[in-house]
Amino acid sequence: MAKTIFEEMGGKYERQGDYLIPCLTVPTEEEQPIGTWGQRHLDYLKQHRKVTYTNLLISGRLNTYLADIDRQAQERFERLIESMKQVQGITEQLKAENGLEWTGKMNNIKACAIESVNEEVVYMD
């Protein structure tokens, strides 16, 4: 019996009953921690970019890709917060003098930064 293209490329089959099933494995990749941003992007890929998700998963690059997205999003989030604090004049002095006002302004800044990062990095097209 002639070899199939799969066998010529080094693939092997496993017999299960009357059937030959190809032995397929996903390439292993280094496990990296994935934070909130990476998890959000993973959900986005699964729901809206299924082909991209499948390609990354099969190639063994999904975890690395998500860790990179998570890192980029976190860096962008921190830069946005710092720049918005400077523009709005939010300082440690304000925190010491009027903690309630400082908290309100910081919550507003964080909400704006989260929305911006989600739009620019996490849920990008």
Q: Is residue 40 part of a domain?
A: yes
Cα 51 to Cα 57: distance, rounded to the nearest angstrom: 10
- In this prediction, residue 72 carries a pLDDT of 96
User: Facing residues of 22 across strands?
Assistant: 13
Alpha-helical (H) ranges within 1-125 are 5-8, 36-48, 50-59, 62-88, 92-97, 99-117
68: tokens are 């990179």
Q: Is 107 helix (H, G, I), strand (E, B) or coil?
A: helix
Q: Is residue 105 part of a domain?
A: yes
| pTM of the complete model | 0.76
- In this prediction, residue 27 carries a pLDDT of 65
**Enclosing domain of residue 38:** 29-122
Q: Is residue 8 part of a domain?
A: no
Task: Encode the chain (125 residues) as per-residue pLDDT tens digits.
Answer: 678 787 777 888 888 898 888 887 766 777 889 999 999 999 999 999 999 999 999 888 999 999 999 999 999 999 999 999 999 999 999 999 999 999 999 999 999 999 999 999 999 85
- In this prediction, residue 7 carries a pLDDT of 77
How many domains does one find in the chain? 1
